[in-house]
Amino acid sequence: MKLLRYGPAGQEKPGLLDASGTIRDLSGVVPDIAGDVLSPEGLKKLAALDPASLPAAPAGVRIGPPTSGMKNLVCIGLNYADHAAETGAPVPKEPIVFLKSLGALAGPNDDVIIPKNSVKTDWEVELCIVIGTKAKCVSEEQALDHVAGYAVGNDVSEREWQIERGGSWDKGKGCDTFGPVGPWLVTRDEVPDPQNLSMFLEVDGKRMQNGSTRTMIFGVKTIVSYVSHMITLHPGDVIFTGTPPGVGLGLKPPVFLKAGQSMRLGIEGLGEQTQRTVAYEG
């Protein structure tokens, strides 16, 4: 299944995408794509529905982040061997874990706001893991049992704030709109091998990233297990799993985003996002 949330920001309704590409309204069935709805039992109930029996959403409606009620927006850094190489960083011996502010969460096609005084805002297409059931100190063998599915993410990053201004990476990662996720959550049964998915990102129509989850250093099972030993993961939580090469920081000379540009990105079987960059106004 492809589950999603649609409507104005803060007023999203639950939905699913049917085989014809029509968004079907689930608000008469479940209150939101959150909590127990993401459990194996909850997903089984949704899978048993006849999509044709559900009302269609209005055409052209905004799509929001695919889950609600999350407690954690977790990220893994330098998790692709080829991306580590382009940045000149050593391959990590353990996953690098950092957090985005929940305020960074955005819909897949929402505008990305270039922060005030930013000079090095960058792009990163990433596979996102969506947690379905609470995970605390789980083994790698148990890890996928706690995964509801996967989604496309853009780990937008301000590199000067992340790297050059001291402290943790978080300050360059958690800005408003820096975490677009979606367009939908694709349930785990439709992604038999999350370690073999092609992915891309374009800026103003120019292909910048071409990669595959095959080059991830730490795979989905390892990431979920590892993070669960430090942070209790809850239904609806999202884990960004790292990016392949082709980010602006890695180009020679580096290239960064400016207001008025567009990004288009996608992952095989998980859909695409399109964002416009806009200047901060305030």
Considering the domain delimited by 73-279, tell me its CATH architecture: Alpha-Beta Complex (3.90)
Top-confidence residue, 83 or 184: 184
pLDDT, position 87: 75
CB 64 within 8 A of CB 9: yes
63-109 pLDDT per residue, tens: 999 999 999 999 999 999 887 777 777 889 999 999 999 999 999 99
**150 Cα distance to chain centroid:** 8
Given this model, what pLDDT does residue 211 score? 96
Q: Which pLDDT score is estimated for 203?
A: 98
Amino acid identity at 106: A
How do residues 236-271 score in pLDDT, each as one tens digit? Answer: 999 999 999 999 999 999 999 999 999 999 999 999
CA 93 to chain centre: 24
Q: Domain segments of the chain: what residues?
A: 2-53, 73-279
pLDDT band for 6, please (50, 70, 90 cuts): very high
The SS3 assignment for 150 reads strand
Torsion angle (degrees, nearest 10) of CA 147, 75, 8, 273: -90
Distance of alpha carbon 122 from alpha carbon 135, whole angstroms: 31
What's the whole-model pTM score? 0.97
In this structure, what DSSP letter does residue 175 have?
Answer: S
CA 200 – CA 266 distance, rounded (Å): 6
pLDDT in tens, 139-178: 999 999 999 999 999 999 999 999 888 878 889 999 999 9
Give the DSSP letter string of 153-165: EE--EEHIIIIIS
Select from 190, 133, 266, 151 the least CA-distant residue to 1: 190
Does the structure show a pLDDT above 80 at 35?
Answer: yes
